Amino acid sequence: MNTYPLQRLFRGALLSTALVTATVQAKDYPPVIQSLEQQGVKVVESFEAPGGLTGYVGEMQGRSLAFYLTPDGDHVIVGTLLDEEGNNLSAASIQELIEGPKFAEAWPQLEDSNWVQDGSSDADTIVYTFTDPNCPYCYRFRQRAEPWIEAGEVQLRHILVGILKEDSLTKAATILGSENPEAALHNHQASYEQGGIAVDRKLVSAAHMDVKANNRLMQELGLRATPSTLYKDEDGKVVMVQGLPNPQALERMMGPKP
C-alpha cells in the first residue's frame, strides 16, 4: 500500500492509520507514528502537548521536526504548533529535546575548530558562528554585532567555511592562514561590498585543509546555512540560531545593547 510522501505532511495533512502496512513490527509507538518511521523519520522523544495532543520530536535527513498525535490516536499532524500569543511551541520543543543536547555535546568541537577571534579575549560572552566570506547575511550579522564587540562584551568566533561560491574556500583560507587572522577578517569586512579580501595562493595552500575541516564540522552538525550561530543562554544551555538574527534574538544572544 502506498503512503503519502512526507513532504505533503508538512503542508498540514493528516496521516491516517489506514496508511500503515500490515507488516509493521510492534513497537511502543502507535501505528501512525510507526508510519512516519517507515518514511525515514527517527523519533527522538515524546512529550505532553496542549489541546490533548501528544507531541513528538524527530529527525529526518539532518532536519529536526515536530509532530503531534491527535487524542483519538489515529492521526498525526506534522508542522508548527502556535499558542494564542503566536509563540512557536514546536521550535521550543525541538530546541529543548533535540538541538540543545546535540549542540551542547558538540560545544567542545566548536572550541577545537579552526576559528578566528573577533573581539576581546576578556569578553564575558563567547559566540561561535559559521561564516562564509561571500555570505551577505554573515556580513550583516557582523555589522549588527559591532556594538557588543566594540564594548568588549562579546567575542565572536568565526568558524570560516567555504560553501557558497567558487572562491569562498580560497577567501576563507586566505583569512585563516594570515599572520593576523583577526585583522584579515576586519579587512575583508571593510571591503566586502567591493569583493572582499584578495586571495593569496600561498596562504590558501597553508590553510585550505583547515577550512575543509570546518566544512565537515558544519555538515556533521546538520547546519545548512550561514550564518549558523551557537551560544550559551543564561542557564548555560546551548542555543543555535540559523540565519541572520533579528534584534530580539541578538539581545538574547549577546545581552542588552551597549
Q: What domains sit in the chain, N to C, each tagged with a CATH number? A: 31-91 (3.10.450.70), 113-254 (3.40.30.10)
- The C-alpha cell 545548512 sits at 224
Interaxial angle between packed helices 136-150 and 247-254, expressed in degrees from 0 to 180 and rounded to the nearest 10 = 50
φ, ψ for residue 122 (rounded to 5)?
Answer: -95, 5
pLDDT at residue number 44: 84
Q: Enumerate the β-bridge partners of residue 128.
A: 157, 230
pLDDT at residue number 24: 36
Cα distance between residue 247 and residue 195, in whole Å:
27
pLDDT tens-place values along the chain, 258 residues long: 333 445 444 444 344 333 333 333 335 788 999 888 888 998 888 888 888 999 888 888 777 888 899 999 899 988 888 888 888 888 777 777 777 788 888 999 999 999 999 999 999 999 999 999 999 999 999 999 999 999 999 999 999 999 999 999 999 999 999 999 999 999 999 999 999 999 999 999 999 999 999 999 999 998 889 999 999 999 898 999 989 999 999 999 999 999
Are β-strands 75-78 and 14-16 bridged in parallel, bridged antiparallel, or unpaired? antiparallel
